[in-house]
Amino acid sequence: MPAYQYPDSHVFYRKLTRRYPLITRGEGCWLIDEQGKRYLDGSGGAFVANLGHGICEIGQAMADQAAKIAYINGTAFTNEAVEALADELAPLLPAELDKFYFLGSGSEAVEAALKLARQYWVETGKPSKHKVIALSPAYHGNTLLALSASAREHYKTYYREWLVDIHRIPAPYSYRCECGGVATAACPVCDGSGLDAAIQQLGAENVAAFIVEPVGGSSTGHAVPRPDYFRRVREICDRNQVLLVADEVLVGAGRTGTWSAIEQYGVVPDIMTFGKGITGGYAPLSAVVASRKLLDPIARGSGGLLHAQTFSHHPVLAAAGLAAVRYIKQHGLVARCRVMGQVFHQKLEPLRALPFVGDIRGRGLLAGIEFVQDKGSRAPFPRKLKFAETFSEQALAAGLMTWANMGQADGINGDLSCLAPPFVITESEIDELVRRFTMALHQTTTKLHLG
């Protein structure tokens, strides 16, 4: 049997220190390797597989499009798939957000969104507005501007000299906040008012945008802000003429029970990004969404967003997105995600009683489970123990795909396991997920001699 590991294969793997199972097919929430072992896809891969595996009509839609026209130059032509996808998505968002710029990855979308914010201010006569404010912890991608906006020190170590300066404010991460997440507390972190102080410190005339995930991504283990957070943030951005950028790459496309995560707060951002689940993983696709308010000045000025990507507005990728969005609508999967999300969190709740489980949080079919060395003090494990990575490997051995993250407690220490199963998951499969999670945690504590 071939060894799918470095250096035995010609593949440059994402990790050079492990052997990879070879997945040969998928069925719904399950992945099957060449030996016939079945893995419950508890994280949707990397928060991507919203629809489940094996939906033939999406692949067929891509094949049909490729047979007609595979590629066009987006500076010279448009195509049927791109036009149809934009028309399909527009009714899902607030009326003013109806212009879609299609790219290939979430990092590309964030990069383009921040460039759009900067270009808007230059073309409206406010060139001093160039600074960006982001949260810590947070993650927005791996291209250099997106990585600059991210707050993951272990990713930045090798590239720090290449990154631009981004101002950070603490994320509304109630599990580790002094206010303890009390909804009535006057907490500048959790109620959003700390953004105003940051803007005043930098000078409103210098701040272009505030970028934020409406529900925390993997960096905070899907912490959910207080109901008043985004209303306060929206008011602060308006008062200071700062653009609000909602990064929905991970949390959008129905994952939290509504098409966009931010709509549950009753707030409309100036710019929105989508990615990951927008095609259910059947093809790489992302989008930047904006309004005529932002685009009209550019149309009158330079004439276009200064962000060239060879594969933007790609017809085959757009055909995958169109088929996926129509499939979601036809099968009511966003509503199903909302309902099954309640079941999901109810069934995860007993995990709190397990050793080293400090918190469980999230919304819809998105959950973060934070591991701690001491539940009372919430002290994290020391990073050298690699608790999250060990748990992830033990979960895989138990036939459960999860997503590990670390560093959220203080930038270095902290261990999370993130879950984001496909929207088609059944109640019995959730039970199986919980069973395998429990088994993996037991094996982890045994392997690390935590006894």
Query: Taking residues 179-188, what's their average pLDDT?
Result: 81
Contacts of 277 (CB under 8 A, 6+ apart): 44, 47, 48, 49, 50, 252, 253, 254, 255
Task: Give the helix, strand, coil percentages of the chain, each rounded to 5.
Answer: 40, 15, 45
Q: What is the pTM of this model?
A: 0.97
Residue from 290, 445, 438 nearest 369 by CA: 438
Calpha distance 169→155 (Å, rounded): 19
Report the SS3 class of residue 172.
Answer: coil
pLDDT digits (tens, 9 = 90+) for 250-299: 999 999 999 999 999 999 999 999 999 999 999 999 999 999 999 999 99
From the centroid of its chain, how far is CA 432?
A: 25
| Residue 405: per-residue pLDDT | 96
CB 51 within 8 A of CB 410: no
Using an 8 Å Cβ cutoff, are 136 and 151 in contact?
Answer: yes
Mean pLDDT of 1-19: 92
Q: 154 Cβ partners below 8 Å, 6+ apart?
A: 406, 407, 412
Q: Which CATH architecture does the domain made up of 23-54+332-447 adopt?
A: Alpha-Beta Complex (3.90)
Tens-place pLDDT, residues 314-355: 999 999 999 999 999 999 999 999 999 999 999 999 999 999
pLDDT of residue 163 exceeding 80 = yes
Contact between 211 and 114 under an 8 Å Cβ cutoff? The reply is yes
| pLDDT cut 70: percent of the chain above it | 100
Would you call 414 exposed, middle or buried from its count of C-beta atoms within 10 A (0-12, 13-18, 19+)?
A: buried
Confidence of residue 142 (pLDDT cuts 50, 70, 90): very high
pLDDT at 121 over 90: yes
Portion of the chain with pLDDT greater than 90, in percent: 94
The residue extents of the domains of the chain are: 23-54+332-447, 58-330
pLDDT above 90 (res 1): no
Q: Is the pLDDT of residue 46 over 70?
A: yes
263 membership: H or E segment, kind and range? none
Mean pLDDT of 31-54: 97
Contact 369, 417 (CB under 8 A): yes
Q: How far apart are CA 52 and CA 72, in angstroms?
A: 30
More confident residue, 150 or 2: 150
Separation of alpha carbons 386 and 367, rounded Å: 20
Ramachandran region, residue 445 (left: φ > 0; alpha: ψ -120 to 50; beta: rest) = alpha
Same CATH topology for 23-54+332-447 and 58-330: the answer is no
The pLDDT value recorded for residue 39 is: 98
Q: Is it the case that residue 221 has pLDDT exceeding 80?
A: yes
Q: Using the predicted structure, report yes or no on whether residue 2 has a pLDDT greater than 90.
A: no
Is residue 134 predicted with pLDDT exceeding 80? yes
Provide the token pair at 15: 């990790």
The answer to whether 382 and 413 have CB atoms below 8 angstroms apart is yes
| Confidence tier at 182 by pLDDT (50, 70, 90) | confident
- Token pair for residue 11? 């593949």
Q: 39-53 b/e with 16+ CB inside 10 Å = b?
A: bbbbbbbebbbbbbb
- Report d(CA 406, CA 410) in Å as an integer: 10
Whether the Cβ atoms of residue 368 and residue 361 lie closer than 8 Å to each other: yes
Q: If we measure between CA atoms, which residue out of 172, 253, 260, 164 comes closest to residue 209?
A: 164
The residue written with tokens 């959910």 in the block is 224
The radius of gyration computed from the CA coordinates of the chain, to the nearest angstrom, equals: 22
Q: What is the rounded CA–CA span in Å between residue 309 and residue 322?
A: 21
Taking all residues of the chain, what is their mean pLDDT, rounded to a whole number? Answer: 96
Determine the 3-state secondary structure of 32 from DSSP. strand
Q: CA distances (Å), 392 to each of 123, 262, 443, in order?
A: 47, 30, 11
Q: Are 41 and 401 in contact (CB under 8 A)?
A: yes
Q: CA–CA separation, 277 vs 294, rounded Å?
A: 26
How many angstroms separate the Cα of 386 from the Cα of each of 46, 85, 375, 415, 449? 20, 42, 18, 8, 13
Question: For residues 42 and 401, what is the distance between their CA atoms, to the nearest angstrom?
Answer: 5
Is the pLDDT at 308 greater than 90, yes or no? no
The fold adopted by the segment(s) 58-330 is Aspartate Aminotransferase; domain 2 (3.40.640)
Half-sphere exposure (Cβ direction) of 263: Cα atoms closer than 13 Å = 15
* pLDDT, position 156: 77
Report the C-alpha gap between 57 and 54 in whole angstroms: 9
Distance CA 61, CA 356 (A): 46
Query: Quick one: pLDDT at residue 181?
Result: 74
The DSSP call for residue 104 is S
**pLDDT tens-digit profile of 381-430?**
999 999 999 999 999 999 999 999 999 999 999 999 999 999 999 999 99
